[in-house]
Amino acid sequence: MTKRLIAGAFAMLLPIMAWAGEYDLTVDRVTIDTGDFKKQGIGYNGSSPGPVLRFKEGEEAVINVTNNLDETTSVHWHGLILPFDQDGVPGVSFPGIPPGETFTYRFPVAQAGTYWYHSHSGFQEPDGAYGAIVIEPEGREPFRYDRDYVVQLADKHPHSGDRVMRNLKSSPDYYNRQQQTVGDFISESREQGFMATLRDRMMWGQMRMMKADVEDVQGFTGLINGKGPEQNWTGLFKPGERIRLRFINSSAMTYFDVRIPGLKMTVVQADGNNVRPVNVDEFRIGVAETYDVIVHIRDEEAYTIFAESMGRSGYARGTLAPREGMVADVPELRDAPMLTMADMAGHMNHGDMDHGAMGHGGMDHGSMNQGDMDHSAHMGGTPEDPFYASGSGLLPKASNGGKFLSYADLRAQSPVFEEREPTREIEMRLTGNMERYEWSIDGIKYEDSDPIVLQYGERVRFKFVNETMMTHPMHLHGMWSILDVDAGQWNPIKHVISVAPATTVYMETEVDAPGEWVFHCHLSYHAAAGMFRKVIVEGGPEEEVVTGQAETQGGDV
C-alpha cells in the first residue's frame, strides 16, 4: 500500500489496525537549563524536549494531551500524513486546547521514519514545546544499523519568544552580533580600494540590509536533546557498530551545519523518507528538517557531534563514545559568512539588481527585480551545489575539504508517486521588509491574504521565488512536497523545502488530502510576522473528509 493511497483514503483503505501504545502528554511550565543559563519555558510531561513518541507503521496513534497552562495550546505532528482535523493548527484544523482540558488526537500511522511534534500556538515551540517521533516501518529497512539515537537540535535563547519578537519589531538587527564596524571598512578599503568599498556599502544601504544578515537571531545556546555544549549529551556505542543518528532541527530560527570530525556519515533518510545512500562529511539541516545518517565506528575513540549555526554565531555539541565520561576535541567556530552581491542577485551581477525598487505591496526588502533573477534554474545556486545561493557568502564547504550534502544529491530510494505532468503551477514569491521586520508571501501578510484553494486529485507545481536575503524553510502541512532536482520519479519526497536568497525552487504536490491546511515559513518569527498561508483542498470522497475521532474531556474544544 503506497503512501499516496494511505494519504488519500485513511479510513477506507487501512486494514483493521493494532492499537499503538497510548500516550499521555501534559503541557507544563518547566525550567530549562542550557548550562549557560536557566529560563522558564514550556515542555511536555515536565521537561523540554518532551518524550520520544514511538509508533509502528500501520498502527493507530492515540495521544491524550492535557493542557496545564493558563493559555490555549496545541500539538502539531510535523510531517505526518493524517486527517486535517488532527493536524493541530488552532484556527484552521481545530480551535486549540483550552487551559485545564484534554484533547485526544487519534490518527492512523501511515508512514515510517523520523519526525517531530511541537506546539502551533504563539511562541510556545521556541519556548520549549517540542519533541521527537520515531516510527518503525512495517517491513525491513533498506539499510543496516546496530544502534539508534535521536539527535534533536534546538536554539535556546535566554529571552522568551514574545520578547524576541518585540525586540525584532523594534530593531531588526537587535540580535545581530556580527555587524560590520569602521575597522572592517578600513580593512576592506586597504584590500579593495576606498571607492570600491564605499560603493559596496552604499549599495547595501540602499537595500536597507547588511552583509551580516544571514541569521535573524543570535545569542542562543545550541542544544542536543535538551543539553547545552557544556552538558555534553553522550551516545554510547561498541566498537564495530553501525549507529543510526536521527537528526531533527527543532530550532526556532537556526540552520545548523553538522559534522562529526573523523567520521564519514551516510545519509539514508531525508524528512522521514528513504533516499539512496549518500556519503558525506557535512550537511546543512534547515529548520524543521530531519536527516537520518549512519556512522560506522571501528575503534574505541570518542567523537564529537558538532553542529554550528549557518551564521557561525553558536553551536550545539554532543559526543559518541564507548564509555561514559569520554570526550573528543570540540572544533572552533569557523569565520562568519557574509552575504555578497552574487548571493543577492541570483546568477546576475549586482548591476542587474533594482536597488531602489519597492517590493510588491510596498515591501522593500532589497527585493530583486524579478525580470533580472534567474528563474530558469530548478534549484538556483551553482551547478555543483544548487541547494545554496550562488555567491561566496552562503556557499558552504566541508571543513576538511570533503563532501558537503546538496539537495541535488538526494534521490528517492523508490518512487512514491507516479510521475505525471502537473495540472497547473502556482508561484509563491517570498517577500519581506527587514527594516520593519515584516515577512510575507507575494507581498501580502497572512491576515490580509486569501487562502490557496486546491482541488482534490490534481498535481500542483509550486514555484518559490525568494526575493529576500534570508533562507526560508517552507513547510506544507498534510501533503508531501516532491522536490524537483531533475530526477523525474526519483525526485526526493520532503515536508520542508529550503529556499536560499535570490533563488527559485520548484516542488510538486499530489493533492490527496481533503480539508484545511497551512503553508508557511518554519522560521518561527517569520511565520508570526506574516509568511503564512491557509490552504483549502476542495473535493474528494465524502468519507475521506470525516475520519478523525477528536475527543475532549472536561469541556468543549
- pLDDT on residue 350: 31
**Residues 148 and 135 placed together within one structural domain of the fold:** no
| The pLDDT of residue 551 is above 70 | no
Residue where one domain finishes, among candidates 336, 368, 383: 336
Q: Out of 10-14, 353-357, 427-431, 518-522, which region has the weakest mean confidence (pLDDT)?
A: 353-357
Residue with cell 515551540: 125
| The pLDDT of residue 550 is above 50 | no
Mean pLDDT of 88-103: 98
Confidence of residue 240 (pLDDT cuts 50, 70, 90): very high
Mean pLDDT of 100-110: 97
Residue 259 located in a structural domain: yes
**Residues 387 and 254 placed together within one structural domain of the fold:** no
Residue type for position 82? L
CA dihedral 430, 123, 129, 30 (to 10 degrees): 160
- pLDDT on residue 189: 55
- pLDDT on residue 278: 97
Residue 126 located in a structural domain: yes
- Identify whether 49 is preceded by a cis peptide bond (ω within 30 of 0): yes
**Residues 9 and 131 placed together within one structural domain of the fold:** yes
Question: How many CB atoms neighbour CB 18 within 10 A?
Answer: 9
**Residues 462 and 507 placed together within one structural domain of the fold:** yes
| The pLDDT of residue 148 is above 50 | yes
Residue where one domain finishes, among candidates 79, 114, 140: 140
Residue 412 located in a structural domain: yes
Q: What is the mean pLDDT of the chain?
A: 83
CA dihedral 266, 271, 274, 277 (to 10 degrees): -20
Buried b (16+ CB within 10 A) or exposed e, 451-482: ebebebeebbbbbbbbbbbbbbbbbbbbbbbb
pLDDT digits (tens, 9 = 90+) for 300-323: 999 999 999 999 999 999 999 999
| The pLDDT of residue 344 is above 90 | no
| The pLDDT of residue 361 is above 50 | no
CATH at residue 455? 2.60.40.420
Residue with cell 544499523: 145
**Residues 20 and 146 placed together within one structural domain of the fold:** no
Higher pLDDT, 374 or 282: 282
Residue 189 located in a structural domain: no
Residue 183 located in a structural domain: no
**Residues 157 and 16 placed together within one structural domain of the fold:** no
Q: Out of 69-83, 167-181, 227-241, 265-279, which region has the weakest mean confidence (pLDDT)?
A: 167-181
**Residues 92 and 169 placed together within one structural domain of the fold:** no
Mean pLDDT of 492-498: 97
**Residues 388 and 457 placed together within one structural domain of the fold:** yes
DSSP state of 413: S
Contacts of 417 (CB under 8 A, 6+ apart): 2, 4, 480, 482, 489, 493, 510
Radius of gyration for the chain, computed over Cα atoms and rounded to the nearest angstrom: 23
**Residues 91 and 65 placed together within one structural domain of the fold:** yes
- pLDDT on residue 549: 33
Take residue 371 and report the three cell numbers written for it. 525580470
Residue 186 located in a structural domain: no
pLDDT digits (tens, 9 = 90+) for 439-481: 999 999 999 999 999 999 999 999 999 998 889 999 999 999 9
Mean pLDDT of 162-185: 70
Find residue 474's DSSP bridge partners. 497, 521
- pLDDT on residue 6: 42
pLDDT digits (tens, 9 = 90+) for 182-206: 444 455 556 667 666 456 555 545 5
| The pLDDT of residue 170 is above 90 | no
Taking the CA of residue 216 as centre, how many other CA atoms within 13 Å lie in the half-sphere pointing to its CB? 30
Which domain range does residue 280 map to?
A: 141-176+212-336
- pLDDT on residue 542: 60
Residue 83 located in a structural domain: yes
Mean pLDDT of 516-539: 97
Residue type for position 490? W
Residue 184 located in a structural domain: no
**Residues 294 and 265 placed together within one structural domain of the fold:** yes
| The pLDDT of residue 495 is above 70 | yes
Work out the percent of the chain whose per-residue pLDDT is above 90: 69
Residue with cell 526556532: 252
- pLDDT on residue 195: 64
* Count of the separate structural domains present in the chain: 3
- pLDDT on residue 548: 35
pLDDT digits (tens, 9 = 90+) for 372-382: 333 333 333 33
**Residues 299 and 269 placed together within one structural domain of the fold:** yes
Residue where one domain finishes, among candidates 336, 364, 387: 336
| The pLDDT of residue 167 is above 80 | yes
**Residues 151 and 299 placed together within one structural domain of the fold:** yes
